[in-house]
A = this chain, B = another copy of it.
């Protein structure tokens, strides 16, 4: 890796950071290329030597985050007892390290493209794990696993966004993740204490 490359990488990182900050400040539609360039301390023309337009930068940002997330979760995380707990915890931990990008994506900023990318990727991963588990354990699931995977992911997306946008005194990562795991394990009725039969 030569040093020209380094310079390029630094500039791109600056543009990414500037983009995220600007979108959270002004909203995706309200951000001008000039704002991003200025916030990244770079000329407007320079922006275009790196990215075709605002959308391209957005896609790049999402790609980077998804790449990091993928690298962080190994197949081993999906093994064993309570096998969904570790991936969820890892997701929340990653998000808490860079709340801005995650808020950006989960809010559906940029016409929802990033949110759909995240949800789709995460859903595919989950479904594959669920399906393979059912396969190897000769289990015949009582419900459609595609629906289960979607539900599982949607649940996390909604809770994660709420958690990231909650003001200062918010529950800790462990507590929220624990709640999600409990819901997976015992169902909402059990967790809330409402008895579906006698009520």
Query: Which residues from chain B contact A183 at a C-beta distance below 8 Å?
Result: 143, 148, 151, 187-188
At the interface with chain B, which of A5-13, A41-49, A157-165? A157-165
Whether A180 and B111, one on each chain, are in contact in the complex, defined by CB atoms closer than 8 angstroms, is no
Q: What's the least CB distance linking A103 to chain B, in Å? A: 11
Task: Give this chain's copy count.
Answer: 2
* A171 part of interface (Cβ distance < 8 Å): yes
Query: Which residues from chain B contact A190 at a C-beta distance below 8 Å?
Result: 142, 187
Whether B107 and A109, one on each chain, are in contact in the complex, defined by CB atoms closer than 8 angstroms, is no
Residues of chain A touching chain B, judged by Cβ–Cβ distance below 8 Å, are: 27-29, 55, 80-84, 107-113, 115-116, 119, 123, 130, 133-134, 137, 139-148, 150-159, 162, 171, 175-176, 178-180, 182-194, 196-197, 199
Q: Which residue of B lies closest to A187 (CB)?
A: B187
Q: CB < 8 Å: which of B150, B159, B175, B196 contacts A159?
A: B150
Given A159-B151, A193-B140, A111:B27 Cβ within 8 A: yes
- Cα A23 to Cα B105 in complex, Å, equals 20
- Cα A84 to Cα B176 in complex, Å, equals 22
Query: Which residues from chain B contact A107 at a C-beta distance below 8 Å?
Result: 111-112, 116
- Cα A150 to Cα B133 in complex, Å, equals 28
Given A148-B191, A150-B162, A155-B154, A81:B197 Cβ within 8 A: yes
Query: Which residues from chain B contact A191 at a C-beta distance below 8 Å?
Result: 141-143, 148
Q: What's the least CB distance linking A123 to chain B, in Å? A: 8
Q: What's the least CB distance linking A196 to chain B, in Å? A: 5
- Cα A29 to Cα B139 in complex, Å, equals 45
A-B contact pairs, 6 of them (CB 8 A): A27-B111, A108-B113, A112-B115, A139-B193, A143-B179, A183-B188
- Besides A184-B187, A187-B190, 12 other CB < 8 A contacts? A27-B111, A28-B111, A107-B111, A111-B111, A134-B193, A139-B194, A140-B193, A141-B192, A142-B192, A147-B162, A147-B180, A151-B188
